[in-house]
Amino acid sequence: MPLMKPNIRWNASLLKSQKLACTLRIRRCVGEKSGRRLSLMRPEISVLMSVYNGERYLSEAVESILRQTFSDFEYIIFDDGSTDRSWDILTKYAGQDQRIRLFRNATNLGLTKTLNKGLTLARGTYIARQDADDISLSERFAQQVAYMEAHPSVALVSTGVQYIHEHASQQWVDMPPHDPLMLRWLLLFWNPIKHSTVLWRRELVTSRVGHYNPSFVYAQDYDLWVRMAEHLSIATLPLVLVTMRWHDEAISVANITPQDAFGIQIIRHQLRRYFPHTYFTEQEVTQLRCIPQQKDGYHSTYLWQLTSSQLEQAGRLYFQLWKQFRKVEGVSKNDPQRWVLLHHKIEQDLVALLRYCKHRKWLRSGARLIRLYLQSSPQRAGSFGAMLLRRFWSSVPRSECV
């Protein structure tokens, strides 16, 4: 199955300004002269990649960066103590393209510390990330730089992802929401921004947020996005510009349990913004994460472990959080498009939970979830509330509606 290609018409709409188009053409020409860059010129992008025993997919990953149509970048690559052929592969490419700055850790430092070393060496206006088993489509940097220059208030931009399973022909797309406030809401439960898709303003983020938290061995990207979102604006391009492999050796697959442990710390930190005087246990946070629909399997895996009373408790916290989120972030009917967008997401989650309750024959729990939602959002008790009650309670025995 062919990979999804970026929508070039969207790129054209970004380049309406003749000045911007001219600037981008000049920058591309600077980087395209035989793969060389002038040492005294600051590159537009610093691409960071850490490699640990990644020989299997490494060549494809490196070549996907070197073939970018936007070529004004430096490519900072660390071999993090590999014991396979990764170093030999990297030295071959470094000898062919002077944009590559190759380093080797004496011992394995891990992803977080290695990326922080790369950030201290970076000189670019922007930072881009690339993992050793992912593929960036050739227009990725051109699209992202164009977006950032057209939106100077945005600190970070990510893209959609196409996943490929290593043992099957199955492919699927994950597209984070474009709305910044919707991203803030989803970050309360999991990380919707994939590490290999980001491009951010180096000096702005360093001065306002800093680097990766060295205490986070896993989920270091999730922690950084959350801290960015608290102080800066982040966005998503509605394009698939990165292909990611889903295989057993991938960090997100091989370390699901440690990732969850660090993720719970990050969620607990965020909850303090909305409930400053409440302490949430690990169990409460784990149960809360089961409520919103997710695409990474967490929802279905952990939801089945809850009892009906635990589901109701998690639902109560979810709708309380939704009420506080609207209050703290200033979500109101004065912004009708965003108001409807966010409520639509909450109601999607609620409908999915009601289907689950019917499947488990937890009809009373389903009825209570409806009440909890309408109590948190009484303004939605009109047509949506009536429709929901009719559809759900039509199959609920009267004895269960008490």
Residue range 264-282, pLDDT digits in tens: 999 999 999 999 999 999 9
State the Cα–Cα distance between residues 335 and 180, nearest whole angstrom.
14
pLDDT, one tens digit per residue, over 27-64 is: 443 333 334 443 457 999 999 999 999 999 999 999 99
Q: Give the per-residue pLDDT at 200.
A: 99
> Which of these ranges, 128-132, 165-169, 348-352, 357-361, has the smallest mean pLDDT?
165-169
Rounded to 5°, angle at Cα 177 from 17 and 206: 70
pLDDT, one tens digit per residue, over 80-97 is: 999 999 999 999 999 999
Nearest to 248 by CA among 170, 167, 134: 167
State the Cα–Cα distance between residues 335 and 342, nearest whole angstrom.
11
State the Cα–Cα distance between residues 238 and 10, nearest whole angstrom.
9
Nearest to 81 by CA among 59, 61, 63, 103: 103
The CA radius of gyration of the chain, in Å to the nearest whole number, is: 23
45, 128 in Cβ contact below 8 A?
Answer: yes
The dihedral over CA atoms of 369, 371, 376, 380, expressed in degrees to the nearest 10, equals: 110
pLDDT, one tens digit per residue, over 4-27 is: 444 444 444 444 433 443 444 444
**All structural domains of the chain:** 8-255 (3.90.550.10), 275-400 (no CATH)
Banded pLDDT at 381 (limits 50, 70, 90): confident
> Which of these ranges, 101-110, 161-170, 313-322, has the smallest mean pLDDT?
161-170
243, 162 in Cβ contact below 8 A?
Answer: yes
Query: When comparing pLDDT for 48 and 256, which is higher?
Result: 48
Res 323 pLDDT > 60: yes
Query: When comparing pLDDT for 385 and 157, which is higher?
Result: 157
